[in-house]
Structure 1
Amino acid sequence: MDSVKLVVTDMDGTLLNANGQKSPEFYTVFRDLRKHDIQFAAASGRQYYNLLHQFEPVKNDMYFMAENGSYVAYKDETLLVRGLETTVAHGLIDIARSIPGAYIILCGRKQAYLESTDEAFLVHVNQYYDRQQIVKDLKSVVDDDLLKIAICDTKGAESNSYQHFKQYEQELQVKISGKTWLDLSDRLANKGVALSALQKRLGIRPEETMVFGDYLNDLEMMGAAKFSYAMANAHPEIKAAATYIAPSNEEDGVMTVLKELLRSKSN
């Protein structure tokens, strides 16, 4: 473990507890990691601007892999963009509009775009997207990189909306990223590809990388690091793909492992 030079963690269900909060110890542990020259990155389906807000005190000293790896940035410098072609995005929007219980978010690099003003839906949107705009027609959006289409599915993503898109898994990233969330991205847009690009930029090998995740959008990331941890609360497929199991997000499992990492660096 003392070889680790890069730590990457998912957010919801992993670093954050059920109330969306980080451990009170997080910033102390973060600064100790940096004292040992260990780089830190957040990898999430959340919007980049939302992640910046989540890590405001240290946002200029860490990396961000937002929108499930579609957008990677450091100090407001764009390192990677993997967007959807406009015609592809429009076709996916047409399909999503036909699904009962599904609400669509068109995730642009500048902001997120919505058609619905349903109050319950907006509660979900506000949790993950700090910059957003309501438009009459999502297909009218121009002058923005279309990073991802997120579907908030009130009937359950795996049993409902996923069934309408799983036929496209050879052409696109079709990721169940939560019980009510389905994400549609470019075929090469995932956390594993984003992590590999970051490793190349930093000159850090998979053998020197530690990752944490809990849901299916973390699957490729598990294969890009020697020290891959599934949370105790993780989806069974993530547990099968990971090398180790960390305590649950409700038990501050990420902090538990990171403190063990710091102890190994101090010995």
Structure 2
Amino acid sequence: MIKLVVTDIDGTLVDDNKNLSPDFWETIDQISQKGIIFAVASGRQYYTLAAQFERMKDRMLFIAENGAYASYENREILTVALEPAVVHNFIKIGRAIADTYPVLCGKNSTYVENDNEYFLSVVNHYCARLQRVDDLTQVGDTLLKFSMFDLVDSETHAYPHFKQFERDYKVAPAGKRWLDMTAPDANKGAALRHAQRQLGISPDETLVFGDYLNDLEMMREAKYSYAMKNAHPEIIKAANFVTDRDNNNHGVVDMIRKLCLNA
């Protein structure tokens, strides 16, 4: 019996225009009535997720910043921080890569040091709390994640510059434009495993959905692991199942209705 449903957002729960399925809220209300917990696991900032799901945040599990932060029913249950010295090195490397913009994700806000209008318009979409600063190395917040916004392609352009850190940190493309760095034990899978223990829910009772490389560890923490029909080949390989529909045809809600509501 499924007791926990966890889904990535971009490329998974929402379509390419960032819209939810017209049946989303009704579907989630129905599974909630059956005692099933709904969760989102995203590279997005917690405050952005809480605002997006405001009407039901009091009963949701949030896994934010690719697993560096998690909360359940408005209560923080996990924080995994990066060491400032490491982040300062990431910033130095990132500043030298053409056509990219460093983004520093803290516990209280997200920080940028570039005022390019297009870049800010994109970051504002993902960050309800955003601050422009003169120097990212002077930010005093608890540091959860360092990201690179890449105008070329995160997997082929920015990633090779940070691949050297993979043995000690989590380095993962989070879409065509984003590359994320977190602590070695901060990823969506580890955060989900921590939440499962807290909630008394097993992998055999968990349903997850994902589409990109930052969802890889999460696929291993659920019996019902679904790669989106539009997912990266490595996610399709890692998952136990593939959705019948892609994200633009609301594949997540379709499978939730089939698996949890027998619809």
TM-score range, shorter chain: over 0.9
The number of aligned residues is: 262
Deviations 1:119-138 (A, max 9, x none): 01011101100101110000
Q: After superposition, where does 1:148-159 map in structure 2 within 5 Å?
A: 148-159=145-156
Shift of residue 59 of structure 1? 1.0
Is the Cα contact below 8 Å between 1:32 and 1:262 reproduced in 2? no
Deviations 1:162-221 (A, max 9, x none): 010011111000010000100011000000000000000000000110000000000000
Q: Which position in structure 1 is the counterpart of 2:213?
A: 216
Q: After superposition, where does 1:14-163 map in structure 2 within 5 Å?
A: 14-142=12-140, 144-163=141-160
Is the Cα contact below 8 Å between 1:14 and 1:213 reproduced in 2? yes
Shift of residue 94 of structure 1? 0.7
1:78/1:230 CA distance change after superposition, 3 Å: same
Is 1:9–2:11 an aligned residue pair? no
Q: After superposition, where does 1:233-248 map in structure 2 within 5 Å?
A: 233-246=230-243, 247-248=245-246
Is the Cα contact below 8 Å between 1:5 and 1:39 reproduced in 2? yes
> Which letter does structure 2 place at the counterpart of 1:149?
F
Q: Which position in structure 2 is the counterpart of 1:166?
A: 163
Deviations 1:112-168 (A, max 9, x none): 0110000010111011001011100001111x2100011100111111110100111
> Which letter does structure 2 place at the counterpart of 1:28?
E
Is the Cα contact below 8 Å between 2:31 and 2:261 reproduced in 1? no
Q: RMSD of aligned C-alpha atoms?
A: 0.9
Q: After superposition, where does 1:175-186 map in structure 2 within 5 Å?
A: 175-186=172-183
Is the Cα contact below 8 Å between 1:107 and 1:147 reproduced in 2? yes
Q: Which runs of 4+ in 1 moved over 4 A?
A: none
Is 1:196–2:187 an aligned residue pair? no
In structure 2, distance between residues paired with 1:145 and 1:26:
34
Is 1:251–2:239 an aligned residue pair? no
Is the Cα contact below 8 Å between 1:153 and 1:180 reproduced in 2? yes
TM-score normalised to the size of structure 1? 0.96
In structure 2, distance between residues paired with 1:113 and 1:229:
33
In structure 1, distance between residues paired with 2:170 and 2:221:
17
In structure 1, distance between residues paired with 2:91 and 2:175:
20
In structure 1, distance between residues paired with 2:94 and 2:261:
48
> Which letter does structure 2 place at the counterpart of 1:24?
P
In structure 2, distance between residues paired with 1:189 and 1:154:
25
Is the Cα contact below 8 Å between 2:113 and 2:133 reproduced in 1? yes
In structure 1, distance between residues paired with 2:250 and 2:6:
15
SS of residue in 1 equivalent to 2:261:
helix
TM-score normalised to the size of structure 2? 0.98
In structure 2, distance between residues paired with 1:201 and 1:74:
10
SS of residue in 1 equivalent to 2:11:
coil
SS of residue in 1 equivalent to 2:12:
coil
Deviations 1:199-255 (A, max 9, x none): 000000001100000000000000000000000110000000011111100111001
In structure 2, distance between residues paired with 1:23 and 1:61:
20
- Percent identity, aligned pairs only? 48
In structure 1, distance between residues paired with 2:75 and 2:95:
34
Shift of residue 75 of structure 1? 3.3
In structure 2, distance between residues paired with 1:262 and 1:235:
25
> Which letter does structure 1 place at the counterpart of 2:118?
A
Gaps of 5+ in 2: none
